Chain A
Amino acid sequence: MKKKYNLIAGGILTGFMLFLVILGCFWTPYDPEQMDAGAKLAGVSLRHLCGGDQFGRDVFSRILVGSRTTLLVACLTVAIGATGGLVLGAFTGYFGGWIDELLMRINDVLFAFPSILLALVVISLLGGGKYQVVLALGIAFIPSFARIVRGEFIRCRSYDYVQSARLMHAGSLRIMFVHILPNIYPVLLSSIMIGFNNAVLAEAGMSFLGIGVQPPDSSLGRMLSEAQAYIFSAPAYALFPGVAIILLVLGFSLLADGLKR
């Protein structure tokens, strides 16, 4: 029963956040860049649902746009990490041999290394920005995906259906991606969902530190780092972007929990 509640609550939260993001693509109550001296650090009101920031920009409008950036970065990051990890894990897991040995040793080393730290190295080489963050985090996420996929491929390659496909002269690529891949979807899906959450948190953390998404792009983490200077005069400005991050992550983790058997 608990699982079902998780699924429902997660679905509602994720749906709500997705609705806000899609809404932000077409309509925002104010221009997110428009500065209004009257709304400088304004509190919560009907005119400004989440108050105003230090330039008098509408925080709600900026959350709508900022969540989009955050979501975009997270999706692209997971796409790079999962694709890279899938290819690497599939080949090493299926074929084994010395390449597998070598890659997995390197993978073990990288796995012990926190992904944000790895991303920091990449960022300090490439500089900050939306796509640099995607690249940095994407690369940093490959080892953990590769490890999971490899484990699954090793488990699956000795199964009967793989043997019989091999007897029917199916090529290795076909066996790997047509026969084995669909069998590891559940594992892949749950690690993608966990990866998505990690990506949201990592992006927020990096943008909060000022080395992630750069202006003019706004992201939830950036808003928080700007709001931090005004937490005593305008608490709402810091609270709402933070709550948006929590809702995004909470919704997804509940959904992932509920989908698990």
Chain B
Amino acid sequence: MKMIGKKLVSMIITLLVISFLVFLAFAVIPGDPALHKLGTEATPEKLQVLREQMGLNKSLLIRYFNFLAGAIKGDFGTSYSYNMPVRSMIGEKLPVTLTLSVMSLIIMVAVSVLLGIYTSRHQGNWVDRFIYIVNQVIMSIPPFFGGILLTLLFGFLLHWFTPGGYVSYKISVPRFLGYLIFPSIAVALPKTAMAVKLLRSSLMEEMKKDYVRTAYSRGNRTKGVYYHHVLKNALIPVITFWGMAFTDMMVGSIIVEQVFGIPGLGRILLSSISNRDYPVVVAVILYLTLFIVVTNFIVDVIYRIVDPRISGQ
């Protein structure tokens, strides 16, 4: 429990540091947000008033604290280009990207556990060798190209889904989830291949340990040893990998959204980067950071449940 508290504190510190760095990066760049907002109507007097209103006259640190106080309440200010609150722009897109990443996570965990166990139990047979080769290739497929391949194969040749036929979750949740299946496969593919490889070698490493031999010599059944002892220990490095992969998949989702025409955080992030709509960029990046940091925290907690030795250290 003490460990969890400590991790919680370090999680909050991480969030503060990143939010400050991001805020600083966008605060020191040349360009006056007030001038940007007024555009051609800018007069020195109007500029002065608006700068006062936006709090741009205050010192950097005070501006950061104001920003932070807003951010905690979910208020990231107003978008430069659309003149609407950033919160309402992002609010609807957030669940889309999050659903896509979580679906990819589920696919990765399920497939890598199944294939990892299968290949390690049947090492050397032709299925294992085949999976090894396929794995090596799949690891090198960037998610967006995987998405293009899936669109060609399942959308164009087999007609299993309609490319571009995205359905909002507000209209129909099952159809929304159904459309996200192929995108999430595209996101999950390379990471799944890596996870299978890692779990396989981790399982094989674990099988060589003394306690496994002892368990066998005491007359335990193969399956019992495998699923009760070996798998649990072998999963420890894989869980770390899953956690890291999830953060990568969140970024991967943003890219793959563009392939499948899914209106998630990706589209909003890209358009705001090219429009230099900094409040939106900052908000999207901080939301993603929040998810990443929370994921890391959850992984740490799971880690301690699977391997109680770690909390003793």
Q: Give A contacts to B, CB under 8 Å.
A: 106, 108-109, 112-114, 116-117, 120-121, 123-125, 197, 201, 204-205, 208-211, 224-225, 228, 231-232, 235, 238-239, 242, 245-246, 249-250, 253-254
Contacts and interface: CB of A to CB of B under 8 A. Distances in A.
Contacts of A210: 270, 274
A106 B22 CA distance: 13
A133 B29 CA distance: 18
B263 to A, nearest CB: 15
Interface in B212-263: 247-248, 250-251, 255, 258-259
28 contacts: A106-B17, A109-B18, A113-B18, A113-B289, A117-B285, A120-B285, A121-B25, A123-B273, A124-B273, A124-B278, A124-B281, A125-B26, A204-B144, A205-B143, A208-B255, A209-B255, A209-B270, A228-B259, A231-B152, A242-B142, A242-B148, A242-B149, A246-B140, A246-B145, A249-B142, A250-B136, A250-B139, A254-B136
Contact of B274 (A121, A211, A242): A211
A197 B190 CA distance: 13
B173 interface: no
Interface residues of B, number: 42
Contacts of B293: 112
Given A113-B292, A209-B258, A245-B142, A121 B285 contact: yes
Contacts of B148: 224, 228, 231, 238, 242
Nearest to B11: A112
Given A242-B149, A246-B141, A250-B139, 4 more contacts: A109-B18, A112-B247, A204-B145, A205-B143
Contacts of A245: 140, 142, 145
Given A112-B14, A113-B292, A224 B144 contact: yes
Given A116-B251, A124-B276, A211-B273, A253 B136 contact: yes
B257 to A, nearest CB: 10
Nearest to B277: A124
Instruction: Give the most central of A209, A228, A242, A249: most B CB within 10 Å.
Output: A209
Contact of B247 (A114, A123, A250): A114
B288 A117 contact: yes
A205 B29 contact: no
A238 to B, nearest CB: 5
B140 A114 contact: no
B160 interface: no
Contacts, number: 97
A114 B250 contact: yes
Contacts of B281: 121, 124
B22 A121 contact: yes
Given A114-B247, A124-B281, A125-B25, A201 B142 contact: yes
Contacts of A246: 137, 140-141, 145
A228 B258 CA distance: 10
A120 B145 contact: no
Nearest to A227: B148
B140 A250 contact: yes
Contacts of B149: 242
B169 interface: no
B156 interface: yes
A191 B71 CA distance: 37
B255 A231 contact: no
B260 to A, nearest CB: 10
Nearest to B137: A250
B275 to A, nearest CB: 10
A228 B26 CA distance: 32
B119 interface: no
A242 B281 CA distance: 29
A246 B145 CA distance: 9
A197 B194 CA distance: 14
Contacts of B251: 114, 116-117
- 9 tightest A-B contacts by CB? A249-B140, A242-B145, A250-B140, A124-B273, A114-B251, A246-B140, A109-B17, A116-B251, A109-B14
B185 interface: no
A125 B156 contact: no
A254 B18 CA distance: 36
A64 B276 CA distance: 33
Contacts of A121: 22, 25, 281, 285
B151 interface: yes
Nearest to A242: B145
A222 to B, nearest CB: 12
Given A228-B259, A231-B152, A242-B148, A114 B248 contact: yes
